[in-house]
Chains A and B, each alone.
Chain A
Amino acid sequence: DTGVSQNPRHKITKRGQNVTFRCDPISEHNRLYWYRQTLGQGPEFLTYFQNEAQLEKSRLLSDRFSAERPKGSFSTLEIQRTEQGDSAMYLCASSLGTVGEKLFFGSGTQLSVL
């Protein structure tokens, strides 16, 4: 499978715990994006990387959220001290970075905070 891969698919955690998600983009893609999607809504932009550099962060990304892409390949998204409002689908996408190039999305990680 050469698509965008996300792990885990599902994560259930208790409020206050830390969680980490992983995204493996399509190998030749240099841009990687994180989006969040709640039930019945469209995905909302969180942050994106050009290779290993994090170039933009949404105001939705509070101080409890941190994303890394250390070698310009896979990326991790960590949420510290989770809150019930963090429950959502976290989607990763990648692209070649060419203007107008479409984003390819993974299947997401569904987070439930109890």
Chain B
Amino acid sequence: GESVGLHLPTLSVQEGDNSIINCAYSNSASDYFIWYKQESGKGPQFIIDIRSNMDKRQGQRVTVLLNKTVKHLSLQIAATQPGDSAVYFCAENGGFQKLVFGTGTRLLVSP
């Protein structure tokens, strides 16, 4: 079946460090993956996405890596800032953009 999970529920980093948030998925047929950031009391905010024909995609301070062999997805945030503190979700496309979300990882950035 389709499931998306995250390895760590909470990640604590110092300001300026690089953060890596990991995600495992189980549906090898998934062709699209996406990372969202969710702050308290707000809806998920798009960060970056990647299609299955790519291994890596870079945005502003963020990079997503996709390893289809082990069905693993990661989000790297460079020079983490206090404003990056939030819950991060990975999601996979369950068809017609019916996204299947994982539980989430809370990122805590201390000054």
Cα–Cα, bound, A107→B72 (Å): 29
Tell me how many residue pairs across A and B have CB atoms closer than 8 Å: 61
A41, B104: Cβ atoms closer than 8 Å: yes
Question: B96 touches which one: A4, A48, A93, A105 (CB < 8 A)?
Answer: A48
Interface string of B65-98 (1 = CB under 8 A from A): 0000000000000000000000001010110111
Chain B proximity of A101: nearest CB distance (Å) = 7
Tally of contact residues, A, Cβ under 8 A: 26
Chain A proximity of B101: nearest CB distance (Å) = 3
Question: A56 touches which one: B4, B49, B98 (CB < 8 A)?
Answer: B98
Cα–Cα, bound, A56→B98 (Å): 9
- Indicate if B56 sits at the interface (CB-CB under 8 A): no
- Indicate if A81 sits at the interface (CB-CB under 8 A): no
Q: Within 8 Å CB of A99, what residues of B?
A: 32
Question: A42 touches which one: B32, B51, B96, B102 (CB < 8 A)?
Answer: B102
Known: A42-B102, A95-B97. A4 touches B43 (CB 8 A): yes
Question: A45 touches which one: B36, B41, B99 (CB < 8 A)?
Answer: B99
Q: Within 8 Å CB of B97, what residues of A?
A: 31, 33, 48, 95, 97, 100-101, 103
Tally of contact residues, B, Cβ under 8 A: 26
Chain B proximity of A7: nearest CB distance (Å) = 13
Interface string of A93-114 (1 = CB under 8 A from B): 1010101111111111000000
B residues 9-34 in Cβ contact with A at 8 Å: 31-32, 34
Question: B101 touches which one: A33, A44, A95 (CB < 8 A)?
Answer: A44
A103, B51: Cβ atoms closer than 8 Å: no
A100, B32: Cβ atoms closer than 8 Å: yes
A102, B49: Cβ atoms closer than 8 Å: yes
- Indicate if A40 sits at the interface (CB-CB under 8 A): yes
Known: A43-B101, A44-B101. A102 touches B41 (CB 8 A): no
8 A–B contacts, CB within 8 A, in A order: A41-B104, A42-B101, A43-B89, A44-B101, A48-B96, A95-B97, A103-B97, A106-B43
